[in-house]
Amino acid sequence: MEGPAVTAVVLNYNGRELLDTIMPSLEAQTYPNLTVTVLDNGSSDGSADHVRERWPQARVVALPENVGVAAALNRGLESVETELVALLNNDIELEAGWVEELVAELMGHPEAASASGKLLRFDRRNVIDSAGDGMRWSSAAFNRGAGETDEGQYDQVQPVFSACAGAALYRRAAFDDVGPFDEDFFAYLEDIDWSLRAQLRGYSSRYVPAAVGYHMRGATTGGARNRYRVMQRRNQIWLVVKNYPRGALLRRTPGILLLNAGLALQDARQGGLTATLRGWWAALLGLPRMLAKRREIQRAKRVGLADLDRVVTPEPWAKGSIGERVRATAATVAPVFGKRR
């Protein structure tokens, strides 16, 4: 049997050269019932024509302008009819069994809205890029295992907080229930935001280490660091305001404040404090919209804090002696927080 139909949607923005890696890896997939759509997000480098010429079997949906990651992902989902949809950045290379492994996992877990595999660094293939995504109650989102040498420590199939929308398989019906990616986020944390809403609705996300891909880390964002920093800092606040149940807000505010203070300190050291302040100001201006969304999300939730505690990663400063907690806090605040594309 062929199994359920799957559409792979490749999100592309000025990534003509990157497409020469991901498209052949999609052609080589062992899963037989797979079609490919390239969602071109207003590219100016001829990407859409390049796909039409080299891979005429692929469908191209070309947007006239860059509408942002979240909106482009939504346009990609709206453009397909299959129940299962793989969302992929253009800077990914997949091993041949990637789709097949993830389909089998979703079919075996009807409660799961998404599934993701083990991403390794494209240029150092023994180094983990992500083994699924995690989140702490401080709102720090992260790629599990990022930067670690792959020694089999993430070789167990298990539930995780979130799949990274840069390389994951989704059940399209879950979007009908949870809603689309939040287009106000534009880019960054839109997948964590969606996964938190899905968790509140009772869905899970599965990690499948046998589904292996390789990520050219940072290839899609280029060097506009401060522009993206504004969005990251804004979205970090909106993530909490929209989605945290009241009990979580009451109990977790100190950790949330500590995280954002650490981010500001880190950004100041990197010459990006102005971008951080702009992000916080943008978050403040958007609070009325986020509070309206919050009311709807909280009314629709199906699970409580105890259920969320099972999938949210404990803070590194939550255990141990006072000295150990201080050292863990310093180690957590110092580096760049958050997962990256």
Q: What pLDDT score was predicted for residue 334? A: 42
For a pLDDT cut of 70, what percent of the chain falls above it?
90
Is a pLDDT exceeding 80 seen at residue 337? no
Mean pLDDT of 1-30: 95
Burial 106-130 (b: 16+ CB within 10 A, else e): beebeebbbbbbbbbbbeeeebbbb
Q: Please compute the mean of the pLDDT values over residues 13-29 and round it to a whole number.
A: 98
CA 151 to chain centre: 24
Rounded CA-CA distance 92/166 in Å is: 8
Please answer whether residues 199 and 299 qualify as being in contact, where contact means their C-beta atoms are separated by less than 8 angstroms: no
- The segment(s) of the chain belonging to CATH 3.90.550.10 are 6-215
pLDDT bucket at 340, cuts 50 / 70 / 90: low
Question: Average pLDDT of 147-164?
Answer: 97
Contact between residue 74 and residue 176 where contact means Cβ atoms under 8 Å apart:
no
Assess whether pLDDT exceeds 50 at residue 206: yes
Q: What is the mean pLDDT of the chain?
A: 92
Q: What is the pLDDT of residues 171-201, one digit of tens each?
A: 999 999 999 999 999 999 999 999 999 999 9
Q: Are strands 204-215 and 92-94 parallel, antiparallel or unpaired?
A: antiparallel
Kind and range of the H or E element at 86?
Answer: strand 84-89
The model's pTM is 0.92
pLDDT given for residue 336 in this prediction: 41
Which of 139-143, 300-304, 324-328 is the least confident region? 324-328
What value does the mean pLDDT take over residues 294-315?
94
**Amino acid making up residue 32:** P
Across 157-192, b (16+ Cβ under 10 Å) vs e yields eeebbbbbbbbbbbbbebbeebbbbbbbbbbbbbbb
Name the fold adopted by 6-215.
Answer: Spore Coat Polysaccharide Biosynthesis Protein SpsA; Chain A (3.90.550)
pLDDT of residue 225: 76
Task: Show the DSSP H helices in 28-137 as ranges.
Answer: 47-54, 69-78, 98-108
- The amino acid occupying position 44 is S
**Lowest-pLDDT range of 16-25, 201-210, 239-248, 320-329:** 320-329
Can you give the pLDDT at residue 2? Answer: 74
Residue 106 in 3-state DSSP?
A: helix
What is residue 330's predicted lDDT score, i.e. its pLDDT?
47
Query: For residue 226, what pLDDT is reported?
Result: 84
pLDDT score, position 29: 98
Residue 36 has pLDDT above 70, yes or no: yes
| pLDDT of 294 higher than 90 | yes
Mean pLDDT computed over 322-331: 48
Residue 93 has pLDDT above 90, yes or no: yes
Going by pLDDT thresholds of 50, 70 and 90, the confidence category of residue 315 is confident
Residue 326: band (very low, low, confident or very high) from pLDDT cuts 50, 70, 90: very low
